[in-house]
Chain A
Amino acid sequence: MYRYDEFDAAFVRQRTEQFAHQVKRRLSGELTEEQFRPLRLMNGLYLQLHAYMLRVAVPYGTLNSTQMRKLAHIARTYDRGYGHFTTRQNIQYNWPKLKDVPAILEELASVEMHAIQTSGNCIRNVTTDQFAGAAADEIIDPRPVAEIIRQWSSLHPEFSYLPRKFKIAITGAPQDRAAVKFHDIGLMAATNDAGDVGWRVFVGGGLGRTPMVAKEISDYVPHEYLLPYLEAILRVYNMYGRRDNKYKARIKILVHETGIETIREQVEAEFAEIKEGVLKLPQGELTRITEYFAAPNFEPQTETKIDVAQFEATDSAYARFLKHNLHPHAKDGYVSVTISLKPIGGVPGDATDTQMEAVADLAEQYSFDELRVTHEQNLVLPHVAIKDVRAVYDALVANDLQEGNAGLISDIIACPGLDYCALANARSIPIAQAISEKFADREEEFGELKLKISGCINACGHHHVGHIGILGVEKKGTELYQITVGGDATENASVGTILGRGVVPEEVPNALEKLLDRYMAERTGPEESFLAAYRRLGDAPFKEALYG
């Protein structure tokens, strides 16, 4: 993975000192909260319902064990012993003290981490496939390009006061696990007629109040021109994006209102001007960065398969884990292991300090010191030898991290909701907990099912793209939950359809049961997933199941 050189280290140190200075000015009263707000936001420091919240960047979701141990240390020393992994592949601390924040940032800087651009109207942390550099289906490892984008976008002088925040996602595999079509810019590896690999570029995707699937703006941009192309898009957005209404300021609205053809013309015109300029990427630089992400020294393995069936009778929990939490690896004899942060009845995405340390140990011992954070709020050990899977599993059991539910209904994405968030209208976490408890015994029979919960229309829980999505709303002082079906964040992107009026909190698990019973009755067989059945049947049977 990428390693800081002196320049990166000095850069982050300067930035940390700058923020420490700003905090000092705030504590001394020189800065009012109003003046401090934009400054702290640029450093990922939010003011939530009860306290400050610090969001730490995990660039493209990649961590090593030293970094994970530092995150654990921070959780224990400056917070309440836990951290929350987010859908942006970052980690959030919910209870830091303002006066401690400079010290936390210093600790982060010591392990090449920071909170730069995790909030504010700037280019946010680039996200990618959690199996990048490991997945069997990968065309190209997206991390070197993600790192180059990270560098280009860090404290960009022209694009730090955009109309609104700006998110870029990148995937190097045909199966999109990074939801690139729901980002401001989505990049998908593509091959041109000559057989060279470059990038297909999508623009204007997003969730929130106005969910939109991104539109293709270019079917092929070679590596060397990617940065000028991105800069062209950003400049068009910075100049023409709406600034009159916060809720219409994302690039998706500009694309929607102006039309993709016009935007493409503007971007292409801008691109033509700057294409051969300072941002053109020399092959040498790409090679240099790519070397940081060289594959680890995989050893030839004799064990290349696990016979799941043999455990089904004797150790069903382990069998479940094997069935759901392993992902095919490019290298024979290896797998990527998903560590679920969704224990039945737990808070999605939370990990305690000891859990983080246990995972760090596992990464060091079994995964070439590499870890990933997924946008579905889980962790991944990307390179585990198949012979070591049992040992990894046993260690996970010892730390309550063994849930074999990746991709199942209890693998829920949920935003912090009204329990933490100042924007939320309704609670998300208790709903997630109730649902996972309700279906703990049945989830395997449902098969793949992406359930996503948001506590308000800002959609941080990605409910629009859940196979089943739940949106908390507030009507006359009471919480109600709208249910959507048919959303999909993958390359076959679609936005879910609202089934009808909202249900009260206590009724949410029962409402889901009605939908799922109907699905079980209608499906052609276990191989037809809920989403596939919905696409075949439409929403009528589900509406009927829910409202009679």
Chain B
Amino acid sequence: MASSNLAHAQTAKPRPSDLELVALNGMFDEKDGLSVLRHALTGDVSPAPIAMVSSFGADSSVLLHMVAQINPNQEVLFLETGKHFAETLEYIEITKKHLGLTNVRFLEPDTKDVERFDPKGNLWETDPDSCCHIRKTEPLDAALKTYGGWVTGRKRFQTNDRGVLPHFELTTDERIKVNPLAYWDNDDVAAYRKAHDLPAHPLFLKGFLSIGCEPCTSVVKEGEDPRSGRWRGKDKTECGIHFDVSGKIAHPTVEIGQKPMNLFKNGAFVADLWRDLKEDEAVTDLDHVHIPFDVYLENREEIDANPRDLGLILRPGDDVDALGEAAKQFSSIVVEFPAFTDGRGYSYARLLRERYNYEGELRARGDILTDQVAYFLRCGFDALTVQNEATKKALQNDDLGSVNLFMQPIGASQEVPVGTRPFLRRAK
């Protein structure tokens, strides 16, 4: 049992990749704990929520005050080890009242574990690691199964081991530890407490700088490491909860739901009167159907003879030059963009418009990001089939944020030279 730790926790939820975490670490001012905490509790740091855990120790009030500002109904987890100072339990009530926190949840050790491993309640004397394990690690572990990570109050200055602590931290068990106060020092904490008139832990006033369970906490003398009062005389500096700092990373799997086709044309989303040719469908008597280019090539005569409105689907790799002027008989051509990184379709569009004089509807369809829309329009597209929700929203709100000044001429689009601008530049 002593060897098991948090890494055994069952966590199905994926969390951001290590690079994404590095990115998060660049987003906030070092001392802007409130923004870090807000992002952790309300942002998209992890698909599962981030838990708020508090020891209600010497300087817990800072984080709790921040939590109260973000959401006073936020659940706050507290490890009720059964070994706390009475003052700590009293302090919880003071703090709840002072800050208006409504949702403090006590996590208690498994009674079976306590009966089995610490029947006399003195395990801390002989094996403090195991004591921590059954009274802190295991209960927290169980409680955190539904979370993507948790918030801690750890700070870099607290011990040498924590010197490189970031805001957002990788753990070995697929979860994230968030350390909003990582860069704070004692003065910051004191200043914050004073500025917000936060109640001090009763024991803090008596010289306890880092407060844990009663048997393992002693007074820190002036000049000592603030955490030196914990497990004094024992070769132990951390309780096991904060131990793992790195490891293998699970990449998030983004679930993209299949959305209905959405046609954006002439500045608005409109009903799409067209459909794609079904697999193995006969090409006779079609009307308002987009036909894959290879199917067209195989059934050219029959399709050319159909007088109704027909369309074509061009995929990356299709030979636009082989289509050539024949494009003109179609009323709508779809150019597929299976991935936004595949830019072949831009060339196809320009060739259709500029070389083969195609004047019908030209649709871009597929992985369309807002930032490509301006490029599509310039290359001659006049309709977009958009699946990406963010792009849809941006189009609806006319909020593409595009650059509409152009450094180079494009043959097809109706761009008007502005004033005496040199030939290379045009503005929309």
Shortest Cβ distance from B343 into A: residue: A161
Interface: A548 (CB within 8 A): no
CB of A29 within 8 A of CB of B22, answer: no
| Complex alpha-carbon distance, A22 and B29, angstroms | 19
Interface: B405 (CB within 8 A): yes
Shortest Cβ distance from A7 into B: residue: B425
CB of B347 within 8 A of CB of A151, answer: no
Given A158-B350, A273-B355 in contact, is the A29-B407 Cβ separation under 8 Å?
no
| Complex alpha-carbon distance, A386 and B363, angstroms | 63
The B-contacting residues of A in range 13-53, CB under 8 angstroms, are 14-15, 17-18, 21-22, 27, 29-35, 38-39, 42, 47, 50-52
Per DSSP, chain B at the interface is loop
Given A38-B369, A148-B424, A157-B375 in contact, is the A14-B43 Cβ separation under 8 Å?
no
| Complex alpha-carbon distance, A15 and B409, angstroms | 18
The one of B43, B340, B410 in contact with A29, judged by C-beta atoms closer than 8 angstroms, is B43
Interface: A154 (CB within 8 A): yes
CB of A155 within 8 A of CB of B409, answer: no
Q: Give the chain B neighbours of A238 by CB distance below 8 A.
A: 343-344, 346-347
Shortest Cβ distance from B45 into A: residue: A29
| Complex alpha-carbon distance, A273 and B411, angstroms | 12
Interface: A285 (CB within 8 A): yes
Given A235-B347, A279-B409 in contact, is the A17-B401 Cβ separation under 8 Å?
yes
Q: In angstroms, how far is the closest chain B Cβ from the Cβ of A535?
A: 42
| Complex alpha-carbon distance, A121 and B346, angstroms | 14
Interface: B404 (CB within 8 A): yes
Interface: A156 (CB within 8 A): yes
CB of A157 within 8 A of CB of B27, answer: no
CB of B254 within 8 A of CB of A285, answer: no
Interface: B124 (CB within 8 A): no
Interface: A239 (CB within 8 A): yes
Shortest Cβ distance from B402 into A: residue: A18
| Complex alpha-carbon distance, A161 and B346, angstroms | 9
Given A11-B403, A14-B405 in contact, is the A158-B27 Cβ separation under 8 Å?
no
CB of B341 within 8 A of CB of A277, answer: no
Shortest Cβ distance from A42 into B: residue: B371
Interface: A152 (CB within 8 A): yes
| Complex alpha-carbon distance, A47 and B379, angstroms | 31
Q: In angstroms, how far is the closest chain A Cβ from the Cβ of B32?
A: 10
Q: Give the chain B neighbours of A93 by CB distance below 8 A.
A: none
Q: Give the chain A neighbours of B372 by CB distance below 8 A.
A: 161
Interface: B304 (CB within 8 A): no
Q: In angstroms, how far is the closest chain A Cβ from the Cβ of B125?
A: 43
CB of B405 within 8 A of CB of A10, answer: yes
Shortest Cβ distance from A269 into B: residue: B321
CB of B22 within 8 A of CB of A18, answer: no
Q: Mark B328-354, 1 if CB is under 8 A from A, else 0.
A: 000000000000111110111010000
Q: How many residues of A contact B (CB 8 A)?
A: 56
Given A21-B401, A42-B371 in contact, is the A156-B44 Cβ separation under 8 Å?
no
Q: In angstroms, how far is the closest chain A Cβ from the Cβ of B416?
A: 13
CB of A239 within 8 A of CB of B369, answer: no
Q: Give the chain B neighbours of A33 by CB distance below 8 A.
A: 16-17, 19-20, 23
Shortest Cβ distance from B43 into A: residue: A29
Given A10-B405, A155-B407 in contact, is the A99-B27 Cβ separation under 8 Å?
yes
Q: In angstroms, how far is the closest chain B Cβ from the Cβ of A251?
A: 14
CB of B378 within 8 A of CB of A47, answer: no
CB of A31 within 8 A of CB of B390, answer: yes
Q: In angstroms, how far is the closest chain A Cβ from the Cβ of B412?
A: 10
Interface: A160 (CB within 8 A): yes
| Complex alpha-carbon distance, A18 and B344, angstroms | 25
Q: Give the chain A neighbours of B29 by CB distance below 8 A.
A: 97, 99
CB of A32 within 8 A of CB of B423, answer: no
CB of B401 within 8 A of CB of A30, answer: no
| Complex alpha-carbon distance, A385 and B2, angstroms | 77
Q: How many residues of B contact A (CB 8 A)?
A: 53
| Complex alpha-carbon distance, A21 and B403, angstroms | 12
Q: Give the chain A neighbours of B17 by CB distance below 8 A.
A: 33
Interface: B160 (CB within 8 A): no
Q: In angstroms, how far is the closest chain A Cβ from the Cβ of B226?
A: 28
| Complex alpha-carbon distance, A11 and B44, angstroms | 33
Q: Mark A88-105, 1 if CB is under 8 A from B, else 0.
A: 000000001111000000
| Complex alpha-carbon distance, A14 and B427, angstroms | 12
Q: Mark A39-80, 1 if CB is under 8 A from B, else 0.
A: 100100001001110000000000000000000000000000
Interface: B408 (CB within 8 A): yes
Interface: B316 (CB within 8 A): yes
Q: In angstroms, how far is the closest chain B Cβ from the Cβ of A94?
A: 12
Of the candidates A34, A35, A155, A162, the one having the most CB atoms from chain B within 10 angstroms of its own CB is: A155
Interface: B196 (CB within 8 A): no
Q: In angstroms, how far is the closest chain B Cβ from the Cβ of A274?
A: 8
| Complex alpha-carbon distance, A306 and B185, angstroms | 59
CB of A29 within 8 A of CB of B44, answer: yes
The one of A152, A162, A285 in contact with B343, judged by C-beta atoms closer than 8 angstroms, is A162
CB of A239 within 8 A of CB of B347, answer: yes
Interface: A278 (CB within 8 A): yes
Shortest Cβ distance from A234 into B: residue: B347
Q: Mark A125-156, 1 if CB is under 8 A from B, else 0.
A: 00000000000000000000000100111111
Q: In angstroms, how far is the closest chain B Cβ from the Cβ of A367?
A: 29
Q: In angstroms, how far is the closest chain A Cβ from the Cβ of B409?
A: 4
Q: In angstroms, how far is the closest chain A Cβ from the Cβ of B83?
A: 39
Interface: B28 (CB within 8 A): yes
Q: In angstroms, how far is the closest chain A Cβ from the Cβ of B30?
A: 9
Interface residues of chain B, those whose CB is within 8 Å of chain A, are 16-17, 19-20, 22-23, 25-29, 39, 43-44, 254, 316, 340-344, 346-348, 350, 355, 369, 371-372, 374-376, 378-379, 390, 401-411, 418, 421-425, 427
A–B Cβ pairs within 8 angstroms, 13 of them: A7-B425, A14-B403, A22-B371, A33-B19, A51-B26, A97-B27, A121-B343, A238-B343, A239-B344, A277-B411, A278-B410, A285-B424, A422-B19
New A-B pairs, 8, CB < 8 Å, besides A51-B22, A238-B346, A243-B344: A22-B371, A50-B22, A156-B407, A157-B376, A157-B410, A238-B347, A239-B347, A285-B423
